[in-house]
Amino acid sequence: MIALTGAGMSAESGVPTFRGLDGLWRNYNPQELATPEAFAANPTLVWEWYDWRRGLIAQAQPNAGHFALAQLEEKGPFVTVVTQNVDGLHQRGGSSHVIELHGSIWKLRCMGCQRLHSDLRAHLRTLPPLCEECGQMLRPGVVWFGENLPPMAWEASVEAVSSTDVLLVIGTSGQVYPAAQLVPIAKEAGAKVILVNLEEIELGGAADIVIQGASGEILPKLVQ
């Protein structure tokens, strides 16, 4: 079983979503904060935004939805979580097979030597942070608009959804590609698609079952 998750999964943990009424993209322009061009133009501004989000996420706890997916593993089926979230809450909630399609806010990558650094502190000491190895600037270890997904994460996700019986699509607006493409890929390979979302969303008519409600309420019941 595969769970494809988005920002709605972490909403009940207090992590803001991107679209919708309270979404981050209502008040912030993604072109100014989440593109390689934005980072090149103003790295400190971009880092301030990511550092603010690190602070929010550091205070957040996994919610009942995260725990339910982790519990599902114990019940028998092999569960792979393919997430667009960068917050690490699935892992903290106990899920053991998590593919981070959009990277992680707790990782930083050196623009010079390309080394990947892990830093779990809520706030970084200096903005922008610098690589301890080579002194070059570090960037957030996330995927920005206009960038490719990490190839191994994408290939593993395609492989997983191509051979699953069930794809649970939880808390994502399905508007961002290529992540959203995983739904038709799963569908064409014969998976049943179950949609869990607070709102009534379409997803190209791919859903076999639609459950409208908050993931923190629905998932524990589904697992039960």
Residues marked as catalytic: 102
Contact 193, 200 (CB under 8 A): no
Question: Are 124 and 100 spatial neighbours (Cβ–Cβ below 8 Å)?
Answer: no
Residue window 118-157: x/- pattern of binding to ligand OAD, with contact defined by CB under 6 A: -------------------------xxx------------
Distance CA 215, CA 151 (A): 29
Which member of 173, 191, 203, 206 binds ligand OAD (CB under 6 A)? 173
Bridge partners of 194, per DSSP, are 168, 209
Asked if 164 touches ligand OAD (CB under 6 A), the answer is no
Tokens of 67: 């725990």
Query: Following DSSP, what letter does each residue of 92-103 receive, concatenated?
Result: HHT-S-EEETTE
Q: By CB under 6 A, is residue 175 in contact with ligand OAD? A: yes
In sequence order, the 6+-apart residues with CB closer than 8 A to the CB of 177 are: none
Instruction: Specify the residue, 1 or 142, whose C-beta has the smaller distance to ligand OAD.
Output: 142
Q: Does 172 bind ligand OAD (CB under 6 A)?
A: yes
Q: Give the span between the Cα atoms of 8 and 16, in whole angstroms.
A: 8
Q: What minimum distance in Å lies between the beta carbon of 217 and ligand OAD?
A: 8
Structure tokens at 168: 């649970």
- Of 1, 8, 95, 206, the one binding ligand OAD (CB under 6 A) is 8
Of 168 and 191, nearer to ligand OAD (C-beta) is: 168
Q: Which residue, 159 or 199, is less far from ligand OAD as judged by CB?
A: 199
Q: Of 124, 214, 222, 223, which lies in the binding site for ligand OAD, with binding defined by CB under 6 A?
A: 214
Q: Are strands 192-197 and 166-170 parallel, antiparallel or unpaired?
A: parallel
Give the phi and the psi of residue 211 in degrees, each rounded to 5. -120, 115
Contacts (CB under 6 A) with ligand OAD, residues 101-120: 102
Q: Closer CB to ligand OAD, residue 13 or residue 131?
A: 13
Tell me the CB-side half-sphere exposure of residue 101, using CA atoms within 13 A: 25
Does 12 bind ligand OAD (CB under 6 A)? Our answer is yes
Instruction: Using the structure block, give the residue that is written with the tokens 């979404």.
Output: 23
198 binds ligand OAD, rule: CB under 6 A: yes
The residue whose Cβ lies closest to ligand OAD is: 8
List the one residue from 155, 159, 188, 199 that touches ligand OAD (CB under 6 A).
199
Q: How far apart are CA 193 and CA 199, in angstroms?
A: 17
* Residues at the interface with ligand OAD (CB under 6 A): 6-8, 11-12, 17-20, 23, 30, 34, 84, 102, 143-145, 171-173, 175-176, 196-199, 201, 214-215
